[in-house]
Structure 1
Amino acid sequence: MKKPTPHLVIVAGEDSGDLHGANLAKALRRLLPACRLSGIGGEKMAENGVELIFSSKRLAVVGIFEVLSRLGDIILGARSIRRHLAASRPDLLILIDFPDFNLNLVAPFARRLRIPIVYYISPQIWAWRQGRINKIQRLVKKILVILPFEEDFYRRRQVTKVEYVGHPLLDQFKSFHLPPLQERPDIALIPGSRPGEIRRILPLMICAARLYLREKPESHFRIPVAPSIDISDIEKMIPTAFRKHVSIQKVPLTEVLAGVSFALVTSGTATLETALAGIPMVVIYRVNELSYQLGRRLISVPFISLVNLIAGREIVPELIQRKARPETIVEQLRKTLDHPNKYRQTCHALAAVRKKLERIGTSASPSEKAAQALCKFLREEIGQQP
């Protein structure tokens, strides 16, 4: 006998997943006011009514060696969600990105319990490790993709249970207003949301900023702090002589972007947020050298940033590993900020990226469209009446 109200479990593993999970939870609450939502996530999901079984803050890692250092938390998180699935037998499991954890430790267990699985924000298998498509096909009942080329990627490989719902970051930028250029003279340093990447990349960004200060001593910088990061950890990394030139802000990234003309951005979701805001940038990518050498053999796309991938060409420079040096960062910064025509061209190209993402064929927001697809799945596939 079916439960009177549906129980949905959501598993998200990083700050970006927490944000998308929160927006999805909010949309689900409007469609299914009485539903129970539980799972793994962060503060934003909790604020939107998701009962947290385990904190995603303990799972955010990048690179092979960081995974090994956090193995205890990863195992504990997997055990916690498995116990929860076995005890509560939810109507639906919703996986948000975080593929190594979700596909290897959560989905197979849920499948054995015959819990239907929907993958919202599927792994970027078009970029690397395409063999994972077989596991997704075997374990997942429905895939909700967020990039315009992903649906075609799956269908060309005979995976038809896929639906494009639009990128949930668009929800944040629906009412975003970018002031005139002369009112936002600052430069953003966006080091990411994982402790390891911040330790690797923020000092590099600061070195580049200090180098740029020699040429432009009036410059001021802003550092946004991700929700899962303690602001004191960032403050400790700022050299005393640089502190008067920087503002450290634990606010939504959109608030920081509204006050800057340029950004240095760690490769990841923040590059797309910066693009949607219309801010020219330099993308920086650095991981452990062995992780990089192993990973580069598996990567099958020409760019590391979503901005360039969606554009189909390089519209913002990418500085990877040894190319990411203070001197090369400042050189790229100069090439854009010191040349108004180049700056305008980049802004126009970023606007075109946003337009591509906005073509979802409905007035509903991406999160609302995803929630509607989940309700339809509950109704048609498993007989639950939302």
Structure 2
Amino acid sequence: MRVFLIAGEPSGDALGRALMAGLKELVPDVAFEGVGGPLMQGEGMTSLFPMDELSVMGLAEIVPKYPALKRRLTQTIEAVLAAKPDVLITIDSPDFCLRVARAVKARSALRVVHYVAPTVWAWRPKRAERMAGVVDQVLALFPFEPPFLERAGVRCDFVGHPVVTEPQATEAEAAGFRLAHGLGDAPLLLMLPGSRRGEVTRLAPVMGPALARLSAARPELRAVLPAARPVAGLVQEVTAQWPVKPLILDPREIAADNVAAEKRAAFRAADAALAASGTVSLELAAAETPMVIAYDTHWLTRAIMARMLLTDTVTLVNLVADSRTIPEFLGKDCRPAPIAAALAKVLDAPGGQRAAMRLCMDRLGRHAAPPGLRAARAVLDGMARNG
């Protein structure tokens, strides 16, 4: 069996690795080709070109790199057609991956599977209809996604979210973290302003004052901020202006093999978190760390999204658990005073969120087979049904 896979982001590389491992467990003679990062390469793929050439976000970043991206697009399409694999699996990165899929479908009958469903449940539902005829099967991370795709005529299998397989720190590791950083038994707030420059730039001027307000009422409060490597320097700059300076976990200053463990320990040690909207809410739920979500965008993006958004919450824990226990402050509501007040309530009564977080993890597949193996089974079942 020959499989051509394409991933364009580190998160896709991780999904691809797990899927490849699952396929190897079920089909011992499987062979892989395509585009992937170090994790997929570790499972036996030789990448057509460096995956990070596709890890470009935002119009300002894409425009100067468009000619190179266009060449890689053409190169990838021709490589898929020349390889004649049994299946093409594209992983997230829809701007690149679905262009490849569309071109391949126009010139062949190759089966195409796309891993990670588009967020048609939140906005732009017509995207599901546009996938029909281009993608034969979608592998979804969330249990509420299949109906949206299937209504458009695309098979969609919920295969579980990778967050359920991530290791969690123990109580002993959390205690060790507090001891190592001199935190004692002080109430600890986790600050998570995002992993992109735009997020940090917009959220830091809100999170800093929110922390200051909370700290004024609770002088014993301490804060820790695990910085993402791409924005570690920026985090150091912006937090220098904060009235209350958090303990910053800078990955540039921590041994590479200890960065993930230090972050896990911080999550477990924290009493509550103030986080940007995104998948980090699932990481917090897995660690059972109560949270408040804050997020803002450019005013024009905010205005457009307000008209297009189809849900009353963007927090994934709320959506998966079908609850609204996680407070969120978005757009014009993303202000220090109400955020600080919500954090105070969470610190005083943290247990209210934990039932929703546990239900969320259960629904994402915590007690089921690993997502990579479930994804592999779904791919093979789709191929068998397709003859």
On whether the aligned pair clears a TM of 0.5, the verdict is yes
**Deviation by residue 1:28-73 (Cα, 9 ceiling, x = unmatched):** 4444566554555555445555444243476353xxxx32443333
Question: Which range is displaced more, 17-26 or 346-355?
Answer: 17-26
Q: Report the Cα offset of residue 244 of structure 1.
A: 5.7
Q: Which residue of 2 aligns with 1:70?
A: 62
Q: Which residue of 2 aligns with 1:364?
A: 369
Q: Report the Cα offset of residue 85 of structure 1.
A: 3.1
Contact conserved, 1:22 with 1:44, CA < 8 A, in 2? yes
**From 250, 267, 273, the counterpart of 2:283:** 273
Return the alpha-carbon distance in structure 2 between the equivalents of residues 219 and 365 of structure 1: 38
**Deviation by residue 1:99-151 (Cα, 9 ceiling, x = unmatched):** 34433x33222323424320111101111111111111110011111211112
Q: Which residue of 1 aligns with 2:189?
A: 187
Q: Which residue of 1 aligns with 2:247?
A: 246
Q: Which residue of 1 aligns with 2:11?
A: 16
**From 300, 321, 324, the counterpart of 2:331:** 321
Q: Which runs of 5+ in 2 are unaligned?
A: 176-183, 252-258
Contact conserved, 2:239 with 2:246, CA < 8 A, in 1? no
Q: TM-score, normalised by structure 2?
A: 0.82
Return the alpha-carbon distance in structure 2 between the equivalents of residues 172 and 314 of structure 1: 25
Q: Which runs of 5+ in 1 are unaligned?
A: none
> Residue type matched to 1:348 in 2?
A
> Residue type matched to 2:8 in 1?
A
Q: Secondary structure at the match of 2:281?
A: helix
Return the alpha-carbon distance in structure 2 between the equivalents of residues 292 and 207 of structure 1: 22
Return the alpha-carbon distance in structure 1 between the equivalents of residues 372 and 186 of structure 2: 30
Cα 1:177/1:27, change in 2 over 3 Å: farther
> Residue type matched to 1:153 in 2?
F
> Residue type matched to 1:59 in 2?
S
1:139 correspondence with 2:134? yes
Q: Which residue of 2 aligns with 1:218?
A: 220
Q: Secondary structure at the match of 1:284?
A: strand
Q: What is the identity percentage for the equivalent residue pairs of Structure 1 and Structure 2?
A: 27
Cα 1:272/1:50, change in 2 over 3 Å: farther
Cα 1:41/1:271, change in 2 over 3 Å: farther
Return the alpha-carbon distance in structure 2 between the equivalents of residues 24 and 135 of structure 1: 25
> Residue type matched to 1:111 in 2?
K
Return the alpha-carbon distance in structure 2 between the equivalents of residues 329 and 57 of structure 1: 38
Contact conserved, 2:275 with 2:294, CA < 8 A, in 1? yes
Cα 1:210/1:70, change in 2 over 3 Å: farther
**Deviation by residue 1:242-301 (Cα, 9 ceiling, x = unmatched):** 686312243335343122121111111111221222111111121111112112222111
Q: Secondary structure at the match of 1:8?
A: strand
Contact conserved, 1:308 with 1:314, CA < 8 A, in 2? yes
Q: How many residue pairs were aligned?
A: 364
Contact conserved, 1:148 with 1:356, CA < 8 A, in 2? yes
